[in-house]
Structure 1
Amino acid sequence: MKKTLFWGRLAAAFMLLAITAFTAYAAGGAKYAFNSKKALKDKGSAKFNESVTALALVNDMKTGWNLGNTLDANAKSGLESETSWGQPLATKKQIDALSAAGFKTIRLPVSWKNHIIDDKYTIDPAWMARVKQVVDWAISDGMYVILNDHHDNFENEGAMSYGDGYYPSSLNYNESLRFVRNLWAQISLAFNKGYDEHLIFEVLNEPRLRGHAHEWNYNPSCTACKDAVSNLNKLNQLALDTIRASGKNNKNRFVMVTGLAASMNSFTSQSSWKLPNDSAEGRLLLSVHLYVPYPFAMQNPGVSEFTENLTAELSYDFEWLNEHFVKKGVPVVIGEYGATNKNNTEDRVKWFKFFVSESRKYGMVACLWDNGDWNARNTFEEKFGFFNREEGTFYFPEIIEAIMETLQVDFANKN
């Protein structure tokens, strides 16, 4: 009778333990769920230079380029997704050409949720290996690499299901927590001791209220906007803590964080957004995207002439970022910038010269957004193609020359 009672109590205890564990996981309490046996693990060895400051790092990053519409394509799963948005496979030859042209930094936008292979948030190891291959090509050229989580923001305000990515709302926080935590744990496992300070993590790309009226512009009187900032703060902190917990070089890795939509508006509109607390000192970078002034840089049709009266908004943004972040020891990385092709190369050259000059004046690095689409024959919308990936040449060499020449003039003035 006593044995029966003992085993009965033991079974009940195990049942309670299982129920508690499941309840904690359902509420976002479990740490990691992914299949660690399938996860790619970093076997390299690189010495991380802990003496490099954030300001020195960003200054050395000089100027960057985005491999857009490639690894971030999320229309398909598997390795074939890389070309699903019409761009060719990334190659070492492409990276070599960019490095030779003077780009010191490459930003790798990567989508992940379409590469989950089970019910535990496990990322396809073949996909992780492919991302790692491209990272290694750039690292071997002495470039800095920004590796991020790109198009994984759920597409509307409704309730998410498993594998839908993340959404910065209280309704979807628990599912977002599980996705972000498991994703960054796996990235941190694959990229750690084998990479020094030349590899930078960027937590989330343009996290926002997709489908909402204020998707792109924070509104202080909007309840959903306030809720989004609160949840984004938690997700940024969660991702950073997950990276740091992986140890080794990731204890000190430089990490980029951003506000809603990576927009200036999310910082300047009296929101409660804040930088996460970091166990490492001086290792955070602010990420922001600047397509300004909007009528010239992105709006279709907008305006095609870059006149002096359009410089004020750009100057204000740079001055504000300098005052509120750079001067306080938090360098700024402009993860995306550019001016869409409106058959106005001469004016775009003027814009690029002014933009690069302003960014370097305040010690910021800017990464050119390149989606491969350059032909403005029918429309001016999203024509951000600069590098011909098939030929290894540039569609607008005048613009690239303007960037590099302005960079050199800026350094000459500083020295």
Structure 2
Amino acid sequence: MRRPAWTSLTALAAALALTTTVVAPASAGTAPQAGPRPAAVDPASEVVAEMQPGWNLGNTLDAVGADETAWGNPRVTEDLLRAVEDAGFQSVRIPVTLGQHSGPAPTYTIDPAVLDRVEEVVDQALDADLSVLLDLHHDSWMWTNQMPTRHDEVLAQFTATWEQLAERFRDHPRTLLFESINEPQFAGTSGDEQSYALLHELNAAFHEVVRSSGGGNADRVLVLPTLHTNADQGRLDALVATFEELDDPNLAATFHYYGYWPFSVNVAGGTRFDAAAQADLTGTFARVRDTFVARGIPVILGEYGLLGFDRHTGTIEQGEKLKFFEALGHQARTTGVTTMLWDNGQHLSRTAFTWSDPALFAHIRSSWTRRSGTASTDQVFVRPGAVAAQTVTLNPNGQTFKGLYLDGKKLKAGTDFTLAGDALTLPAALLTRLVGSGEHGTRAVLEVRFSKGLPWRVELVSADTPVLQDATGTTDAFAVPTVFRGDRLATMEARYLDGTNAGPHSWTSFKEYDVTFAPDTAAGTIVLRPAFFAEVTDGAPVVLTFHFWSGETVTYTVVRNGTAVTGTVG
């Protein structure tokens, strides 16, 4: 729950000011005058800090279609927003797309029923004790991106849109914030400098419209994005120039972060949250800190996640995914950035109010307040009949090791495991006892406990080399029959016989997970998507190398002839 307002000294002073009268000194012929002292307002930095953590109501009021259900989500309810607050969130970002509901020039009147519904949802969120960030969303690529060629028309519509929003919400509390435009982009510019100038013009127009509307908008916190809501240094510097020109203490900056791209979508061998992915994360927050936070500009990470989540959360291996979110939470917390998780329905059920991946949400939630220890992996593969000791490297993240547990029972150091520095070794005797020669799959789950934060789970998996079979099919429907034998597919390479890369993203041999290939363990297949064959040379054999998490690799050859596909082992 949000803390009571009186726990804030600033808010307490403001509350007292509301009931304090000022008495002017009496003078000859002048009666004492009394009147209310203007209420103080919390600094923008405090307003933004109290929004931590936040959640996005994605693919709903921003959906392009008839109404908020057009992209598959149900209508927003009070129960949903109260479930968001119950989960520990303090704010909700409400993206809205309004161009499709706007009339023609010169008024660009927004359908009153749409505005009524937006206001209803905003009020439901405020009533649930959530701060709200109202964001103009897909309009960025639907019409404001045409500003280079339709400058006056776009600026007029943008101004009219915010005039109507500002008027509708002018008397709402200051826990409602406005964001000018989501992920701003411009088609056909001469380069970044022109794009920066156009974005500055939009942000300045937004600022002028809202401030001139009066009421609560006179000091409402306004949130301005970088170009593409990206945190490259040039983008940050351009937005700082806008802040300096506007010279308004009630402004905040926003950017988005979806991770190091190869890791975020699992392409080019980006299966792990490795040094490159970690450096991308820490570098991003360092730039934001040095450019904005150090200047006293509050910052909102308006969206974060992994791009592969747009398909499903299984695109990234579970342990690697958890390490990313644990580290991101730490970076945001220590930098002083408010975070707002992007959720288009893939995380929190909009009807059952349950989390699709409870372990993921547990790590996200824990990262709001503390670090948790992790490890080099959350899966240890054991080959039946050839069991050998295996070592997992711990990443304590400032915590201390407290023990290794199995089914809640503490294992014995020196007998069941050894720990040398951060190297946790599981001896062959333990692995034989827990995995032995039993059936393939997860045989046991160990739990590494640290002094603080969440424990780290390590699956012990019995696995043998997967077995593939020959197959025929079409470019629209082709699957490699696969007996996984307990193993798990990590990635796939594709090369022609001369060694050159095949398929999409021809600059890398490693193809994009789920876009070009996907394992289906229940069906016993590895599916090759139409998108893969769309960029494969007709009649040219392609050698696929499937990389499994155990370290095993298996090759397979496919040949496309028109729409027909044949596949052979080896």
Alignment of 1:175-190 (within 5 A): 175-190=153-168
CA contact (8 A) 2:265 2:316 kept: no
Matches within 5 A, 1:2-401: 50-74=40-64, 76=65, 80-119=66-105, 120-155=107-142, 165-167=143-145, 169-193=147-171, 195-210=172-187, 223-265=190-232, 267-268=234-235, 274-276=241-243, 281-298=248-265, 303-339=270-306, 340=309, 341=313, 342=315, 344-372=317-345, 385-401=346-362
Q: Does structure 2 conserve the Cα–Cα contact (< 8 Å) formed by 1:169 and 1:227? A: no
Look up the equivalent residue of 1:136 and give its one-letter code: D
Task: Assess, with a 3 A threshold, how the Cα gap between structure 1 residues 154 and 59 changes in structure 2: closer, same or farther.
Answer: closer
Q: Partner amino acid for 1:112?
A: L
Q: CA RMSD in A?
A: 2.4
Quick one: structure 1 residues 54 and 88, their matched pair in 2 at CA, closer, same or farther if it must change by over 3 Å? same
Match of 2:145, SS state, is: coil
d(CA) in 1 for partners of 2:98, 2:43:
30
Query: Larger Cα Rg: Structure 1 or Structure 2?
Result: 2
What letter corresponds to residue 350 of structure 2 in structure 1? R
Amino acid at match of 1:125: P
**1:93, distance to aligned residue in structure 2 (A):** 1.0
- Report the alpha carbon displacement of residue 60 of structure 1 after superposing the two structures with TM: 1.3
The structure, 1 or 2, with the larger RCO (C-alpha pairs under 8 Å, 6+ apart) is: 1
Aligned-pair distance for 1:168? 6.0
Question: In the comparison of the two structures, how many residue pairs are matched?
Answer: 329
Partners of 1:172 and 1:299 in 2: CA distance: 38
Q: 3-state DSSP class of the match of 1:61?
A: coil
2:424 match: none
Could you tell me whether the CA contact under 8 Å between 1:388 and 1:395 is conserved in 2?
Answer: yes
* Post-superposition offset of 1:239: 0.8
Q: SS at the partner of 1:286?
A: strand
Q: What is the letter of the counterpart of residue 92 of structure 1?
A: E
Cα distance in 2, alignment partners of residues 174 and 363 from structure 1: 38
**Deviation digits for residues 319-354 of structure 1, max 9, x if unmatched?**
111111111011110101002321522221211111
CA pair 116-338 structure 1, distance change in 2 beyond 3 A = same
Work out the CA distance in 2 between the residues paired with 1:240 and 1:299: 39
State whether residues 240 and 292 of structure 2, in contact with CA within 8 Å, keep that contact through their aligned partners in structure 1.
no
Task: Say which SS state the counterpart of residue 93 (structure 1) adopts.
Answer: helix
Where 2:49 maps in the other structure, the secondary structure is: helix
Residue 303 of structure 1: how far off its partner (Å): 2.5
SS of the equivalent of 2:242 reads coil
Runs (5+) with no aligned partner, structure 2? 1-17, 19-37, 372-398, 400-570
Structure 1 residue 269: deviation in Å? Answer: 8.2
Query: Structure 1, residues 286-337: CA drift from partner, whole Å, max 9, x if none?
Result: 1101111122224557623223442111111111111111110111101010
C-alpha separation between the residues in 1 aligned to 2:239 and 2:48?
26
Structure 1 residues without counterparts, runs of 5 or longer: 1-46, 156-164, 213-221, 373-384
Stretch moving more, 336-345 or 64-73: 336-345
TM-score normalized by the length of structure 2: 0.54
Instruction: Report deviation, 1:362.
Output: 1.2
Query: What is the alpha-carbon distance in structure 2 between the residues aligned to residue 94 and residue 354 of structure 1?
Result: 28
- Write 1 or 2 for the structure with the bigger share of strand: 2
More helix by percentage: 1
* Aligned-pair identity (%): 29
Report the CA distance shift for 1:111/1:50 in structure 2 as closer, same or farther (over 3 A): farther
- How far apart are the structure 2 equivalents of 1:178 and 1:149? 15
Q: Label 1:169 to 1:266 Cα distance change in 2 as closer, same or farther (>3 A).
A: farther
Looking at structure 2, the residues matched to 303 and 325 of structure 1 have their Cα atoms a distance apart, in angstroms, of 30
Following the alignment from structure 1 to structure 2, what is the Cα–Cα distance between the partners of residues 369 and 294?
16
